[in-house]
Amino acid sequence: MKVQLKNLTLAAMFMAIGFVLPFLTGQIQAIGNMLCPMHIPVLLCGLICGWKYGAAVGFILPLLRSMIFGMPPMYPTAIAMALELMTYGLVIGLLYSRSRWQCVIALYRCLIAAMLAGRAVWGIAQVILLGLGGSAFTVKAFLAGALLNAIPGIVLQLVLIPVIMVALNRTGLVKFRRAETEPAKGL
């Protein structure tokens, strides 16, 4: 019960950070959206609280932000982002919790897998949503939206998230876990 309350409280904190960060990065018009500010708290939520909380925060955050502030626009952006961020939180939380060792190397593996899966889900969502609206979502649009325009955000996530996790490990707030040593064979 104590762990659930802690995770729920942390998830609410990550949701609040996800609400505020776009306001800070939006002040830099040229690269504000390229920094993917809502992705960072969702990825951290999945790592720290687990896949269920990461997926929930990832799904709710862009939809709720769209309803309250009108940004991102609900259709198709917020809907596609909700599925993308849900995938981020789910994949990184699930993979990291099942990693034999929880260390920086495992963190990078899980982070990259989550980023690839999330972008794939975003692309599929865009194809479906825009197809329903009578528009086409091209490979060129996918590459521009998922990779080229997102390079600053990808770099920021690959640098900032491991730095935060290492800092949390050093302070003892979130500990990296090592697998139990296996008994020697034949003994």
- The answer to whether residue 41 sits within a structural domain is yes
Question: What is the C-alpha end-to-end distance of the chain, expressed in Å?
Answer: 40
- The answer to whether residue 27 sits within a structural domain is yes
- The answer to whether residue 183 sits within a structural domain is no
pLDDT at residue 187 in the model: 39
Domain harbouring 115, CATH code: 1.10.1760.20
Domain extent, residue 6, equals: 2-171
The pTM of the full predicted model, rounded to 2 decimals, is 0.90
Domain count, the chain: 1
Report yes or no: 34 and 144 within 8 Å, Cβ to Cβ.
no
- Alpha-carbon span 136 to 172, nearest angstrom: 49
pLDDT at residue 185 in the model: 47
- The answer to whether residue 10 sits within a structural domain is yes
pLDDT at residue 179 in the model: 63
pLDDT in tens, the chain (187 residues): 888 999 999 999 999 999 999 988 877 766 777 888 999 999 999 999 999 999 999 999 999 999 999 988 999 999 999 999 999 999 999 999 999 989 999 999 999 999 999 999 999 999 999 988 778 888 888 888 778 888 889 999 999 999 999 999 999 999 888 765 444 444 3
Q: How many CA atoms lie within 13 A of 137 on its CB side?
A: 20
- Alpha-carbon span 52 to 59, nearest angstrom: 11
In sequence order, the 6+-apart residues with CB closer than 8 A to the CB of 126 are 76, 80, 137, 141, 142, 145
Angle 95-101-107 from CA coordinates, rounded to 5°: 50
